[in-house]
Amino acid sequence: MFSIPENPPPDHQEAEILLIGTALQGIERERRRIVKQLREAERERRRLRSARRALRGHTPGRITRTALRVGLVAVGTVAFVTGAVTLTAGGTGLAAFELAAAAWGLAAALPARK
């Protein structure tokens, strides 16, 4: 009759499984390292973006620039309406239209952002 030995011969599959397990551990370590580098790069990107925004232009300058543009548009609108009313009343409102055109032109010429 056939009998099963107590200690079977070493199986080659076990050695292959150990090699695969070791390789997978190395891959997992590398993946963790890459994830850590990505986090650090994202932090650095945020820091640089914040520093760039700080250098771009101070808030008072931006507010002044915006207020100037809005003021010029308002002056142009008032001058245009005044010219239209003057023309309707029978007068010559050409100077008011010229003022409106100049104000709107300056407002358009000012940069919105720096």
The model's pLDDT over 37-50, given as tens digits with 9 standing for 90+, comes to: 999 999 999 999 98
- What pLDDT was estimated at residue 16? 75
- What pLDDT was estimated at residue 41? 96
- What pLDDT was estimated at residue 10? 61
Q: In whole angstroms, give the CA distance from residue 98 to residue 83.
A: 9
Helix (H) or strand (E) holding 113: none
pTM: 0.44
Q: In whole angstroms, give the CA distance from residue 76 to residue 104.
A: 6
Query: Which residues of the chain register pLDDT less than 70?
Result: 1-13, 15, 57-59, 112-114
Q: In whole angstroms, give the CA distance from residue 107 to residue 101.
A: 10
- What pLDDT was estimated at residue 111? 73
